[in-house]
Structure 1
Amino acid sequence: MSHSLAGVCVGQTDISGNYEPPFKPILRMWPSSVVPTRENSNVTLKCVSPMPGIRLVLRKGDKILDSRLPHHLTEGTAEFHLTNLRLSHAGHYTCEYYLKESPDKISPSSDVLILLVTGDLPKPSLRVQHLGRVTTGEVVKLQCQKPHNSTELSQMFALLKEGNSSPIQPLTSENDVVEFTLQNVTSQDAGRYSCVYHQAEAPFRTSHPSDYLDISVIGGFLSSRPPCALSKCYTKINLIRLGMSAIFVMFMAVFLAEAWYSQRVATMNPW
């Protein structure tokens, strides 16, 4: 409540030109900040201001890309859409806001979000360093390795988890191999992981993601395996079903043969 009152009071002083917005906005990106290069690949950036009655500005680096009024007069929120993503979209994004009455008084910038557009460099590989029995609280290490034919230096690596809108962990390294660490492993760490590497500066050329690695934490055991293709999975399931059907038919044949033999013996030896 005190913040709201302070905002009203400050807003009044803003008209006289003595006010600069003190609170930085929040910038979010979805469905992910690591996206592939293709025509239908889209990203939405949502800038949220702590106060209404403002105009929101989206920047890429130092360049203003767009400015918008909030969706509703009582909310300080606006969405910016990037479509048909290409390498040129990759970079650092921030947002700011200013009161409509004082366009020269701008807020502090939001925290920086980096957008990576994958597919410009060869994909790395990802594997688990620790397999076997795992209990809650233990450490699991994931190793991401660049292909040997890659010549990129001073790059960053990022560990990705399916369903997360941003990388789990970023690492900077000039080596071809980095090691990500999952601390205090629980069932919440189960999921599909991949990794990428990218340039640390513009134009932020980024690799294809590695093949997915499934991590399961079940009954105190950690296992990893590459996900099988859908057709292969169905093939395995169908083979299992056919095998079980063959066993059932065999048992039925044996049962019917025994029943027929018993009936014949009884007919031949009525007493």
Structure 2
Amino acid sequence: MMAGFLSLLFFGLCAGQELRRDESLPRPSIQALPSWVLPASSHVTLRCSTPTGEIDSRDIRFTLRKNNASKISSPDSPEGLAEFHLTDLKTSDAGEYTCEYRTESPTRRSLLSDVLLLLVTGELPKPSLHTHHRGEVTAGENVTLQCQQPRHVIDPSMLALLKKGTSTPIMVQGPVGVETDFSLPSVTRRDTGNYNCVYYLPMAPFLASKPSDELPIWVTDSPGATSTDYTTGNLVRLGLSAFIAVLMVAFLVEAWWSQRSSPRGSR
């Protein structure tokens, strides 16, 4: 009987070793497409992958976890990449997602990826977003966007500044009173776009508000930059014209000298 117990103990230890995370394996990454902040009834793809070229990806299988519990296992992922499709999102889909992978021969288990927070908006009243720079903004200026939560919201929450067309929030921070400022220092034309903000509870069930109304920001070049661009263009054109003129003079001089030095015809 003791021999049987020792055999079971040995088997359990071996199984435990197979499940132990191998720190030598590269950590996988996880991202949400098109974004990790989405309205209810939309669709999202959670993509897990390993660093390219750092591991033989022929026998990899990924597992997606939600709130540190196993959720979905992928089929074999020969390219070192797996996509998990969540459709018709509901509030219950919000949470903290991670992924890991296993290899065969030998069986090894990777570390968990960084945590990806998935938010499904619409459960809380929407905030408002304001700025003193509504409309056009000159490049180089500092722009402050102010997200204001409804005054009756008392639960501690986080706020995220979003920009249409980007997959991740521009900024995330805790509230400072009812109004929270997001600063965009020294804006450039790349900051042009439509912005909104949401607030959310940073713990289960991760309820999130409706997005605020969009606030358009249009960044234009500063007059000095435009003038400098024109001046530079003019200098380039003048330099090119002078170079062509010098070449023409050189050709004329060479032709004159060749004609003068050539033997004259008999008289």
The verdict on a shared fold, with TM-score over 0.5 as the criterion, is yes
Return the offset for 1:19. Answer: 9.0
Asked if the contact 1:154–1:174 (Cα under 8 Å) also holds between the matched residues in 2, the reply is no
Return the offset for 1:76. Answer: 0.5
Aligned to 1:47: 48
Structure 1 residues not aligned, in runs of 5+: 1-15, 222-271
Matched, 1:78 2:82: yes
* Structure 1 pair 154–174 and aligned structure 2 pair: CA distance change class (3 A): farther
* Structure 1 pair 219–26 and aligned structure 2 pair: CA distance change class (3 A): same
* Structure 1 pair 192–132 and aligned structure 2 pair: CA distance change class (3 A): closer
State the SS of the aligned residue for 2:92: helix
Structure 2 residues not aligned, in runs of 5+: 1-16, 224-267
Asked if the contact 1:129–1:143 (Cα under 8 Å) also holds between the matched residues in 2, the reply is no
Asked if the contact 2:145–2:183 (Cα under 8 Å) also holds between the matched residues in 1, the reply is yes
Return the offset for 1:133. Answer: 8.0
Asked if the contact 2:158–2:202 (Cα under 8 Å) also holds between the matched residues in 1, the reply is yes
Return the offset for 1:217. Answer: 0.7
Counterpart Cα distance in 2 of 1:54 and 1:34: 29
Return the offset for 1:220. Answer: 3.2
Matched, 1:121 2:124: yes
Counterpart Cα distance in 1 of 2:45 and 2:80: 16
Asked if the contact 2:68–2:98 (Cα under 8 Å) also holds between the matched residues in 1, the reply is no
- Percent of aligned positions that are identical: 46
Return the offset for 1:131. Answer: 5.5
Return the offset for 1:101. Answer: 3.2
Aligned to 2:113: 110
Counterpart Cα distance in 2 of 1:160 and 1:54: 35
Bigger drift between 16-25 and 133-142 goes to 16-25
Return the offset for 1:208. Answer: 0.2
Aligned to 1:87: 91
Asked if the contact 2:94–2:205 (Cα under 8 Å) also holds between the matched residues in 1, the reply is yes
> Residue 182 of structure 1: which of 178, 181, 184 is its match?
184
Name the amino acid aligned to 2:92.
Answer: S
Alignment of 1:26-175 (within 5 A): 26-38=29-41, 41-50=42-51, 51=55, 52=57, 53-71=59-77, 73=78, 75-103=79-107, 105-130=108-133, 134-151=137-154, 153-173=155-175, 175=177
Asked if the contact 2:139–2:219 (Cα under 8 Å) also holds between the matched residues in 1, the reply is no
TM-score (norm 2): 0.69
Aligned to 2:208: 206
State the SS of the aligned residue for 1:173: coil
Counterpart Cα distance in 1 of 2:214 and 2:29: 31
Asked if the contact 1:192–1:212 (Cα under 8 Å) also holds between the matched residues in 2, the reply is yes
The number of residues matched between the two structures is 200
TM-score (norm 1): 0.68
Counterpart Cα distance in 2 of 1:194 and 1:127: 9
Q: CA RMSD in A?
A: 2.3
Bigger drift between 51-60 and 154-163 goes to 51-60
Counterpart Cα distance in 2 of 1:214 and 1:176: 22
